[in-house]
Amino acid sequence: MEIRRLRYFKTIADEGQITRAAKKLHIAQPPLSQQLKLLEEELNVTLFERNGRSLILTESGETLYRKTSDILNGIEDTIAEVQAVDSGVKGVLKIGANKSCFAYLLQQITHIRERFPGVQFKIREGDTYTLTKEIYEREIELAIVRLPANDTEFSSVLIPPEPYMFVISDQWEGFCDKDSVYMKDLDGIPLLLLHRLSGKGQFEIVTDEFQRLGFNPNIVVECPDAAMLLSLTAAGTGGTIVPKSTLEAFSQENLRVFHLKDFKVQAEAALLWGKDRFLSKPAREVIANMEELY
Amino acid sequence: MEIRRLRYFKTIADEGQITRAAKKLHIAQPPLSQQLKLLEEELNVTLFERNGRSLILTESGETLYRKTSDILNGIEDTIAEVQAVDSGVKGVLKIGANKSCFAYLLQQITHIRERFPGVQFKIREGDTYTLTKEIYEREIELAIVRLPANDTEFSSVLIPPEPYMFVISDQWEGFCDKDSVYMKDLDGIPLLLLHRLSGKGQFEIVTDEFQRLGFNPNIVVECPDAAMLLSLTAAGTGGTIVPKSTLEAFSQENLRVFHLKDFKVQAEAALLWGKDRFLSKPAREVIANMEELY
DNA sequence: GATTTCGCATATGATTTAAATATGGGAGGT
DNA sequence: ACCTCCCATATTTAAATCATATGCGAAATC
């Protein structure tokens, strides 16, 4: 049973006449008579009682008529929904980010919510390795992660490097009173560092930098979660080194923040997605927005 | 959006491959590729992400896929239901009858319930005039009525005439003790007669018969409802004259029944339906059954 | 009651649409 | 590097749909 036939049938039933229905459908009368006949033959059912010039629905016809509206409306709704999803008006954006990149994620979510208020978000958190794997397995479309990352299978928008900041509790006694420090000032301070679950990451970058300057850092905590790290820091466990934007996302009370004057390495992050992957409208919008911003 | 396309789409999604889907659909691969493309163009949406030889549903595609089953099932169910209604397996038989013809109606309902257990009944009760009007207005398909009736607009199956019976309460004192009586025996007995709301009917037939024999009946009740009539009779109000079958339908306690030896007129009834009207399967079955029986 | 009007049905030719065959190209697998 | 598998395009063939012309019967009008 083709939908055109159903639509024809409904119009005939509505108009109570083939001729009038044909006009409404912008076709000639004979093909409409023919299509009705074909529908009846296909269903092997008499749909209209023809008596002279009057058409009256049979019981089978009534039955079909009652269902027809549901079917046609269902199809129209489906088309509308599919197009809404495609246009990004509706849908789910599955996106991941490192905790330390949460500030960027926050920014993009805000942006998408303005452009496409109907879009839902499924957010994954994890280290760069985990998230790239999840892109590969299509569990997420996009990820905002700290570099380095395997970029042979991913396209990316680079986010401008941002400085690492040193953070320590404002209750910490005997620390310098300016707003920037040198690496040597950290000597002896217990350090809490971000640690990735696998692969080379910031932990290695920071420790390498210490080694370059000839220090041997006193690392007391390695933690993969930036929010936890800052919480521990605020509690006075020690000092930590995090990218600047991380501080914006997880702003915490009782923290003092310092520039690190001779810490040359900067935190690099990027928005990643699968090479040649189909991307939803919201995903494309995030990419476009990132490219414009950075 | 044509259903064929939807079916094709669903098959492709199920099989995850155009080639395999084409085999399942018993068509060649190229037209299937083409139809998928046309569907995408029609919706202006990308349904599958094509990457080399793999087809993966996009979010829009997923959305469409989820709805497609509902739509296709809905259509199949509808077809099945329409055909069921047409074949009489399901449906509503709208039928009317005089109260005095209720025995025939009972018989036919029993018959249809055996043949088509799914059929529902809408029963109208009324006098012949009312019921023929209801046929004309399509409120009922069939009517079993006492004659005479306007037969220019109706087709009919005649039911063999049946004798009128005289009925009186068994509490009635001083009445004859045989099982048949003559009209003259009714002289003086208060009579309760069926009366139609309009047109000429049994009331006139019975009174005419009395006049033919030179009696002047003592009519104390005129009532259009046979069941009420018999109830009044059982209560000892008087005697009544009804067709034999009526007694079978509304069998009542405490009644004595007599043949009327010199009452020549017999009760005539018929099954009526609109000339050239479309009739449902159950209606046609009732007609066939009636024709066979009588 | 004759005539006109209206609406459905059929027939035939034209147009559009779908399917089949043949073929090319790109991604995986060997 | 080769072969295999699968999708896409091009072209031809078949089928379905539509339009035009026309006939027929029932209602409406005079």
The distance (Å) linking the CA of B210 with the C1' of C18 is 79
Same structural domain, A219 and A129: no
Q: Which B-chain residues 272-291 have CB contacts (< 8 A) with chain A?
A: 276-278, 280
Same structural domain, A131 and A248: no
Among the residue ranges A34-43, A90-99, A266-275, B83-92, the one predicted with the least confidence is B83-92
Query: Could B43 and A4 be called an inter-chain contact, meaning their C-beta atoms sit closer than 8 Å?
Result: no
The model's confidence at residue B198, banded by pLDDT at 50, 70 and 90, is very low
Which of A87, A120, A145 terminates a domain? The answer is: A87
Same structural domain, B62 and B201: no
Percent of chain A at pLDDT > 70 equals: 97
pLDDT in tens, B56-108: 888 888 888 888 988 888 888 888 888 888 877 777 888 888 887 888 888 88
Name chain B contacts of A45, Cβ cutoff 8 Å.
Answer: 82-83, 86
Asked whether the beta carbons of A83 and B45 are under 8 A apart, the reply is: yes
Rounded to whole angstroms, the Cα distance separating B132 from B150 reads 8
Residue B110 CB neighbours (<10 A): 9
Residue B137, judged by CB atoms within 10 A of its CB (0-12, 13-18, 19+), counts as exposed
Task: Locate the DSSP E strands across B177-245.
Answer: 180-181, 190-194, 218-223, 239-243
Asked if residue B197 has pLDDT above 70, the reply is no
Same structural domain, A155 and A283: yes
Average pLDDT over every residue of B15-21: 84
Of B1, B45, B91, the CB nearest to A75: B1
Selection from B27, B279, B269, B4 nearest residue B148 by Cα = B269
Query: Could A1 and B64 be called an inter-chain contact, meaning their C-beta atoms sit closer than 8 Å?
Result: no
* Contacts across the A-B interface (CB distance below 8 Å): 103
Which of B48, B68, B87 terminates a domain? The answer is: B87
- The three-state secondary structure class of A92 is strand
pLDDT in tens, A15-48: 888 888 888 888 888 888 888 888 888 888 888 8
Indicate the residue type of A149. A
**How close is the nearest chain A Cα to the Cα of B168, in Å?**
45
Which of B28, B61, B87 terminates a domain? The answer is: B87
Q: Choosing among B60, B66, B280, which should be mutated to test the A contact, i.e. which has the most A CBs within 10 A?
A: B60
Rounded to whole angstroms, the Cα distance separating A112 from A102 reads 15
Same structural domain, A273 and A155: yes
- The three-state secondary structure class of B145 is strand
Interface check B118 vs A, CB under 8 A: no
Residue-number span of the structural domain to which B230 is assigned: 164-265
Q: Find which nucleotide's C1' atom is closest to B5's CA.
A: C18
C20 C1': nearest CA residue: B28
* Chain A window 42-101, residues with Cβ within 7 A of nucleic strand D: 51-54
The distance (Å) linking the CA of B291 with the C1' of D22 is 42
Asked whether the beta carbons of A169 and A285 are under 8 A apart, the reply is: no
The model's confidence at residue B270, banded by pLDDT at 50, 70 and 90, is very high
The model's confidence at residue A198, banded by pLDDT at 50, 70 and 90, is very low
Name chain B contacts of A280, Cβ cutoff 8 Å.
Answer: 58-59
The distance (Å) linking the CA of A32 with the C1' of D22 is 17
Interface check A59 vs B, CB under 8 A: yes
Q: What is the CATH number of the domain that holds B49?
A: 1.10.10.10
Bases along strand D below 7 A from a protein CB: 5-11, 17-22, 25-27
Q: Tokens in use for A73?
A: 């409306």
Residue B142 has a pLDDT of 92
A171-206: burial string, b at 16+ Cβ within 10 Å, e else: ebeebeeeeebbbebbeebbbbbbbbeeeebbbebb
Of A44, A81, A85, the CB nearest to B83: A44
Q: Which of A259-263, B88-92, B135-139, B216-220 is the most confident on average?
A: A259-263
Same structural domain, A7 and A137: no
Same structural domain, B149 and B275: yes
Output phi, psi for A256, to 5 deg. -110, 135
Q: What is the CATH number of the domain that holds B128?
A: 3.40.190.10
Interface check B3 vs A, CB under 8 A: yes
**How close is the nearest chain B Cα to the Cα of A32, in Å?**
17
The model's confidence at residue A196, banded by pLDDT at 50, 70 and 90, is low
Asked if residue A197 has pLDDT above 50, the reply is no
Same structural domain, B177 and B257: yes
Q: Give how many domains chain A has, as a whole number.
A: 3
Name chain A contacts of B138, Cβ cutoff 8 Å.
Answer: 56
Selection from A207, A211, A200 nearest residue A241 by Cα = A207
**DSSP per-residue codes, A264-283:** ---EEEEEEEETT----HHH
Same structural domain, A77 and A220: no
Percent of chain B at pLDDT > 70 equals: 96
Q: Tokens in use for A69?
A: 């509206």
Asked whether the beta carbons of A18 and A36 are under 8 A apart, the reply is: yes
Query: Could A91 and B59 be called an inter-chain contact, meaning their C-beta atoms sit closer than 8 Å?
Result: yes
Asked if residue B199 has pLDDT above 60, the reply is no
Same structural domain, A186 and A212: yes
Selection from A91, A46, A37, A83 nearest residue A64 by Cα = A46
Q: Choosing among A8, A55, A75, A82, which should be mutated to test the B contact, i.e. which has the most B CBs within 10 A?
A: A82
Residue B52 has a pLDDT of 67
The distance (Å) linking the CA of A172 with the C1' of C11 is 100
Residue B196 has a pLDDT of 60
Asked whether the beta carbons of A143 and A222 are under 8 A apart, the reply is: no
Same structural domain, A48 and A125: no
Same structural domain, A183 and A254: yes
